[in-house]
A and B are shown apart, each in its own frame.
Chain A
Amino acid sequence: MRRTMARASLHTALNLLAFALIGTAILAFTYAQTFERIAQSVEAEKLKLISQIVPQDMFDNDIIKDTLDIKADDLLGNEGTTTAYRARLQSKPAVLVLEAVAPDGYSGKISLLIAIRDNGELAGVRVVAHKETPGLGDYIEIARSNWIKGFDGKSATQAGDWKVKKDGGQFDYMAGATITPRAVVKAVHKALLYFELHHEALFAPSEPIKGEKP
């Protein structure tokens, strides 16, 4: 009796193991097949977004090639090294495009592209990826609403009101979804502070900037 029970559980366990292995194998295979193309699509999308927030007449260099590696930094919220794109007009610094992550969205991280002019004014902000509630928190996407354009022309020096209107700041929000814009506003503000802190080095020709993370 005990033997048959043990055998039955073993059978069940092995069955489960077999399906887990098959499932993992299928996932690993699909991932290996698609991951390069996914990276390409993400890159292409990023370039499309960059061209939206960096005005064509503000630079004459090849932004895609003029990049700088940015190490993980608490102000930017990035965990690994990311790429900053540098736009220059007649070799003078014009616009810097930074990648930043808002860690405290309603459901996880929100990845942002932030374009900052040399004078510290925002040229524009775009959301690259997020997991906010469809139909509620997704108005941060440019495809769904113009909310994100509210950052255009703002700078960190107009301090104090870097909050949503509900908290006494200057940024709009939609009722029912305040956590999302709060996270974005905070992340953009911190990116501006980062820009001020490293302004010289960010447009310098070489040498990656060291992160502030301990």
Chain B
Amino acid sequence: MTYQEFKDILYNGVWKQNTGVVQLLGMCPILAVSSSVVNGVSLGLATSVVMALSGAAIAPIRTVVPNEARIPVFILIIAVLVTVIQYLMNAYMYSLYVVLGIFIPLIVTNCIVLARIEAFAAKNPPMQSAMDGLAMGLGLTAVLAVLGGIREIVGHGTLLSGIDMALGESAKSLVITVIPNYHGFLLAILPPGAFIALGLLIAGKNWLNLRAEAKARSAAIQAVQTQAA
């Protein structure tokens, strides 16, 4: 994998084709778990690991699987991988499993995993496929973190609540109370809040894209003009 390839895949996964705000593929888990930063980031990271591993596992066998049977085979492999991870975490990292365990089965239902396998790992070598899975996962994690942050601040008036479950009792001091004596805003915690916040995020991303485009265009026009002059 060349450095340019690495950069392209990373940019593609985290920004250009972001699964959360561009491809809109993981709506179900996004809406369900983005009610707080800690929940969102936890699921995002777990998904990243599964996506990287499934990319690496499927790319080597992409030439062996007949075209007609590829979807069931891919799903089978993803499901096996997720279940194995669940068993291993349950056995060897029990405290982490207690926190994340509930999210893990959700990963299989996430269309992002199959979509990236189908669109990328089925056509590319293992290293690149693993990288693509990881980059896509990180892009999703970023969206979940921002979305979780918005919903948590508006809904509960706090940030990073529940972090002590992921990092241990001592992390409790990391919880930030943004708005003291806040009574909460239920809409933000419920699914409609997720839709509204996600809509705003998508609008924000499109606005940034348009601005970058306009800038590039005016720069190009300027270049042409200076050349003409």
Q: Name A's B-contacting residues (CB within 8 A).
A: 8, 11-12, 15-16, 19-20, 23, 26-27, 30-31, 33-35, 37-38, 41, 44-45, 130-136, 138, 143-144, 175-176
Shortest beta-carbon distance from A53 to chain B in Å: 17
Q: Tell me, in angstroms, the Cα distance from A16 to B125 when the chains sit together.
A: 22
Min distance, Cβ B148 to any Cβ of chain A, angstroms? 9
A91 CB, min distance to chain B CBs, angstroms = 35
**Nearest A residue to B88, CB-CB:** A34
B127 within 8 A of A: no
The chain A residue with its CB closest to the CB of B100 is A134
- For A12, give its contact among B32, B68, B94, B105 (CB under 8 Å): B68
A12 to B64, CA, bound (A): 10
The residue that B94 contacts in the complex, of A26, A41, A138, A144, with Cβ under 8 A, is A41
Which of B7-15, B73-81, B213-221 forms part of the interface with chain A? B73-81
**In this assembly, does B35 line the interface, its C-beta being within 8 Å of a C-beta of chain A?**
yes
User: Could you list 13 further interchain pairs (A-B, Cβ under 8 angstroms) beyond the known A34-B91, A37-B91?
Assistant: A12-B69, A23-B79, A30-B83, A30-B87, A34-B92, A38-B87, A38-B91, A135-B34, A136-B32, A136-B35, A138-B102, A143-B98, A144-B162
- Check if A26 sits within 8 Å of B36, measured CB to CB: no
Near A by CB (< 8 A), chain B positions 178-211 give: 186, 189-190
Contact B102 A41 (CB under 8 A): no
Among B80, B90, B103, point to the contact of A23 (Cβ < 8 A). B80
Query: Which of A38, A131, A175 makes the CB contact (< 8 A) with B102?
Result: A131
A-B contact pairs, 7 of them (CB 8 A): A15-B69, A16-B69, A31-B87, A34-B90, A131-B102, A144-B162, A176-B190
Q: Which residue of B lies closest to A31 (CB)?
A: B87
- Report yes or no: A15 in contact with B162, Cβ–Cβ below 8 A: no
**Residues B33 and A15 in contact, CB atoms below 8 Å apart:** no
- Closest B residue to A9 using CB positions: B68
A35 to B162 alpha-carbon distance, docked (Å): 29
Nearest chain-B residue to A17 (Cβ)?
Answer: B69
Cβ distance B173 to chain A, nearest Cβ, rounded Å: 17
Question: Of B39, B73, B79, B92, which contacts A135 at CB under 8 A?
Answer: B39
Q: Which of A19, A132, A143 has the most CB of B within 10 A?
A: A19
Given the complex of chains A and B, what is the CA–CA distance between A15 and B102 in angstroms? Answer: 33
